[in-house]
Amino acid sequence: MHRLSRRSVSSILRAAGSPYRRSVAAAHLSCSSHLAGSAVDGDNRVRWYSAVTSGKLIPNKADPSTQWNLKNGLFLGNRYESTAAQSDASSPPPPVGEKYEYQAEVSRLMDLIVNSLYSNKEVFLRELISNASDALDKLRFLGVTEPELLKDAVDLDIRIQTDKDNGIVTITDSGIGMNRQELIDCLGTIAQSGTAKFLKALKDSKDAGADNNLIGQFGVGFYSSFLVSDRVVVSTKSPKSDTQYVWEGEANASSYTIREETDPEKLIPRGTRLTLYLKHDDKGFANPERIQKLVKNYSQFVSFPIYTWQEKGYTKEVEVDEEPTEAQKDEQDDKTNKKKKTKTVVERYWDWELTNETQPLWLRNPKEVSTEEYNEFYKKTFNEYLEPLASSHFTTEGEVEFRSVLYVPAVSPTGKDDIVNPKTKNIRLYVKRVFISDDFDGELFPRYLSFVKGVVDSNDLPLNVSREILQESRIVRIMRKRLVRKAFDMILGISMSENREDYEKFWENFGKYLKLGCIEDRENHKRIAPLLRFFSSQSEEEMISLDEYVENMKPDQKDIYYIASDSVTSAKNTPFLEKLIEKDLEVLFLVDPIDEVAVQNLKSYKEKNFVDISKEDLDIGDKNEEKEKEMKQEFGQTCDWIKKRLGDKVASVQISNRLSSSPCVLVSGKFGWSANMERLMKSQTVGDMSGLEFMRGRRVFEINPEHAIIKNLNEACRINPDDEDALKAIDLLYDAALVSSGFTPENPAQLGGKIYEMMGIAISGKWSTPASPQPHIPETLEAEVVEPVEAGSHK
């Protein structure tokens, strides 16, 4: 419990003035005592109170004078009575608190600004050049009304010099400069922007000619120098002052020094010179080539010339004295003295080099810029060697004002298959011609348009203090819509070009990006759909647009037909096409893996629905109810017989209206995956196989009653439905339909065995010749040779 002293109570009462304040003071006192749970009586005795749910505070010691009635409503909005208020009839004063200024530990604040505000050290040069540009802008603006400020004939420019050996970077501008008080206000006061004060003064004076090119706004850009520096020295001279002052500060110090410049060699006619003594790990920034690269990246389009101190060289011929040999000395003394050899050497020297030669093309009138200038700007800005396919230069005014130049590259920079990375660094964002960032994650362009390159420059974008991050806001969303719209206009211009090869080249490189847009951006379906291109059954060599398809539709055709497959060859040979080709109905071939998903997200085009001809319930406008009824009566029993044999492999067996030459086909359910989609999902590296059975949906086995095989099976069903050969024929027929319809057989080896067996039956004895009889050969008998014997002799 907290106890209120007499002094606190009396101070509250003395502070009250008007009756309204008195009631507030009394309420404050009662509120304090209620919340604290105790109050002080006039006899210095403490009374303890407890809050109850009935809306009253009842003292533990019964005393009618201390009863408090709490009414419903805001606690401080009602008037309450207290023993203290009753004892003082005079006007009690209201509560008055003492006012305090926020305090900050300067060294800690500087550490936060330097190490937590910026994510990239190299932006220090952008911030300091922006400050120098603002100083030049202020001088140019004030010089209109005060010409004496420009009496010193010094060019308005920025010069950057480096000392690589000692790790020193010097940035000099010939701008407005600062006096002692301005040094204290601008550099000694954290987060006070001199540019912001200057703009406010212009606004207060209602000067219509206020310069809108000033960059600074937060007052912390100067301190980015401590990102890379241990010590910073600022030498500055204002044209309004005869004294040059030097400001000096260190990275981790909480104080700084200001003194007058006494060294005659360091005097400047006007402006400011910043000398950065780089940290040991950051001395690489003192490399002239690196400084030049940073200037071109961040400050290429600053309106004042920026010079960097660069080493240069030129070639010249010098004579070379060669010692002749002793033999040559005797014979050719005269010739060797007359003929002297020369060699080419490179003489090195240092000089100023203009770094920001490229002018901000987007600030010019589009009518005054030629195609060659657009192409040259594109090549320099994005380091490209090929000319762009198209460009768009526009200015948006009104609720959001910005200028932009967009390009469609000639080739895909990251490869045709890399379309999932939105961070392409293709859009360079500038604020008042100063580069801010090219690292966006879909803020300005959706990822399916990430191939578009360009420059966007605005004066009033919502940035964070480091000016590196584009904050989400309504302005950004409006900019995104307009940029996307202009990008589509540019692509549409390519598609309508007289040179058809231009769009074919574009589609070859960026067609998949637009198909991705069908999936991700429903708001722009009407802009994306006319740009799509597909092969078709009537155009297998050249892609057609959806507009061309609609123009070729039959008068009674209601839908746009398509078939998804892995190639044009397999698509044109699928059995699903047979009846549509007979009726001369065009079918789109979706041969890219992303095509089917893209078309399913489009759903329709010009009030024509997209229909997959591999799904059940296909309507091609030739229904004959009487004929269908006859066929069902004739083949109904056969359908049931086939269904019984196939079991759960198919949901049903139906008579097909899409076949003419094939005996059967296997179609997908209306709301399940098609054969092509099932194949793609199975091939996914990280695919979820648990959902495959569910999404595969139902399969319907459709038979062609006009085909001889089906007619024979119909007879077999009628005569002997248990015939083993007929049942094997049904199994083989299903497996064949599975393959021809684009599905993958679950047991390819078993299918192969069935085919071999049927082939054996079909070709058994077809080409073999009967064995010819062997001629009878009589058995050869061996004869005994008897030698002759002479008469009278005995053997």
Separation of alpha carbons 50 and 97, rounded Å: 28
Least confident residue range of 65-69, 308-312, 653-657, 674-678? 65-69
Least confident residue range of 111-125, 274-288, 408-422? 408-422
Cβ proximity of 564 and 612 under 8 Å? yes
**Span 221-251, pLDDT tens digits:** 788 888 899 999 999 999 888 899 999 988 8
pLDDT above 80: residue 735: yes
**Span 344-362, pLDDT tens digits:** 888 888 899 999 887 888 9
DSSP 8-state symbol, 564:
E
Pure H helices in 246-396: 288-298, 326-331, 333-338, 371-382
Least confident residue range of 234-243, 438-447, 556-565, 727-736? 438-447
Q: What integer is the mean pLDDT of 318-325?
A: 67
Q: What integer is the mean pLDDT of 98-104?
A: 66
Q: Write down the pTM of the prediction.
A: 0.70
Measured CA angle at 99 (ends 97, 105), to 5 deg? 135
Separation of alpha carbons 602 and 583, rounded Å: 26
Which pLDDT band holds residue 775 (cuts at 50, 70, 90)? Answer: low
pLDDT above 60: residue 67: no
Separation of alpha carbons 434 and 302, rounded Å: 6
Q: What integer is the mean pLDDT of 290-297?
A: 92
pLDDT above 80: residue 610: yes
Q: What is the pLDDT of residue 208?
A: 40
pLDDT above 60: residue 60: no
**Span 360-403, pLDDT tens digits:** 889 889 999 999 999 999 998 888 889 999 999 999 888 788 99
pLDDT above 70 coverage of the chain, percent? 72
pLDDT above 50: residue 70: no
Q: Give CA separation, 752 vs 574, 729, 735, 747, in Å.
A: 21, 14, 10, 9
3-state helix, strand, coil in the chain (%, to 5): 40, 20, 40
Residues 6+ apart with CB under 8 A from 6: 40
Q: Are strands 699-703 and 652-655 parallel, antiparallel or unpaired?
A: parallel
Residue scoring higher pLDDT (768 or 88): 768
Which pLDDT band holds residue 762 (cuts at 50, 70, 90)? Answer: confident
Question: Helices 123-145 and 194-204 sit at what angle, rounded to 10 degrees?
Answer: 30
Residue 291 tokens, joined: 């400084």
310, 306, 356: which is closest to 173 by C-alpha? 306
Residue scoring higher pLDDT (622 or 479): 479
Separation of alpha carbons 49 and 330, rounded Å: 130
Task: State which amino acid sits at residue 194.
Answer: G
Residue 585 tokens, joined: 């109905």
Q: Are strands 427-431 and 453-458 parallel, antiparallel or unpaired?
A: parallel
Residue scoring higher pLDDT (292 or 773): 292
Residue 89 tokens, joined: 């009839």
Which pLDDT band holds residue 692 (cuts at 50, 70, 90)? Answer: low
Q: What integer is the mean pLDDT of 483-487?
A: 94
Element (H, E) at 139: helix 123-145
Per the prediction, the chain carries an average pLDDT of 78
Q: What is the pLDDT of residue 151?
A: 79
DSSP 8-state symbol, 446:
-
Q: What integer is the mean pLDDT of 625-649?
A: 89
